[in-house]
Structure 1
Amino acid sequence: MDNPIGNRPLMLRYVLLIIGWLSVTLGVIGIFLPVLPTTPFLLLAAACFARSSPRFYQWLVEHPRLGPWIRDYLDGSGIPLMGKVYAIGLMWVSIVFSCYLVPIVWARGFMLISAVLVTVYIVRQKTLRKS
């Protein structure tokens, strides 16, 4: 079987690497800032690295801090209960604070609708049980 990475144009591989590293950066920031979703950024990074650099993909998936976010999601284990509570709670605190600071009605509506949708998404995800 051909190496799928070898068939990609070099420029595309570089673009995927840049997007991958930007996503890793945003994912790490998202661990501390609830407005940025960590798992989707790390999943995007993993997808970009899988298509551009097996070495970086392996590094990310096996990383002691970042890897579990990806592995638990990909293998269907779910999201830890405290992770759900933390993500939803901090997201709502930041959204309410942002709505207080932003006087534009449509922006407030967008933030609130986004928060509701993200909350529903997180709640509907399988909860990871500790073994």
Structure 2
Amino acid sequence: MFRSLWLLIGLASLALGIAGVVLPLLPTTPFVLLAAYCFARSSPRLHDWLLGHRLFGPLIANWQRHRAISPRAKLLALLSMAGVLGLSVAMGAPQRVILIQALILPATALFIATRPNGPRKPLT
């Protein structure tokens, strides 16, 4: 029973993570990390697929091994957050929406910016 519950939570988390790629204020990374955690407890096949995914796999592995976010992923996340806020202002979003973004996005950006970068790749 618990295995099925972990699987359902993992699938829902992965769906939210994928939706977060295109929806502002819906984070991708935490949902993908939660999906990996759930799949590790429910479906070795889905866990291996997620870890082997060309986009999500390296991010998950870096987080699991080092609790780190790569500088490139940090930059993309920070630019995306700034872009969402700028787009909201430019499109004339309601003030409450802009206020919520102005409160949440800097806190999220601070968390992301203060995570370690992970191991350096050896020079070859």
- Would the TM-score normalized by the shorter structure come out above 0.5? yes
CA distance in 2, matches of 1:44, 1:50: 10
CA distance in 2, matches of 1:76, 1:46: 16
Partner of 1:101: helix, strand, or coil? coil
Alignment of 1:101 with 2:89, yes or no, is no
- What residue number does 2:117 align with? 127
How far the C-alpha of 1:66 sits from its partner, in A, is: 1.8
User: Residue deviations 1:43-66, cap 9 Å, x none?
Assistant: 110111122222222221233332
What is the number of residues matched between the two proteins?
120
Confirm or deny: 8 A CA contact 1:34 1:87 kept in the other structure: no
Label 1:87 to 1:34 Cα distance change in 2 as closer, same or farther (>3 A).
Answer: farther
Query: Root-mean-square deviation (CA), in Å?
Result: 2.3
CA distance in 1, matches of 2:88, 2:8: 30
TM-score by length of 2: 0.78
1:1-131 correspondence runs (5 A):
9=1, 12-31=2-21, 35-76=25-66, 78-99=68-89, 100-105=91-96, 107-128=97-118, 129-131=120-122
Label 1:49 to 1:77 Cα distance change in 2 as closer, same or farther (>3 A).
Answer: closer
CA distance in 1, matches of 2:72, 2:54: 19
> Unaligned regions of 5+ residues in structure 1, if any?
1-8
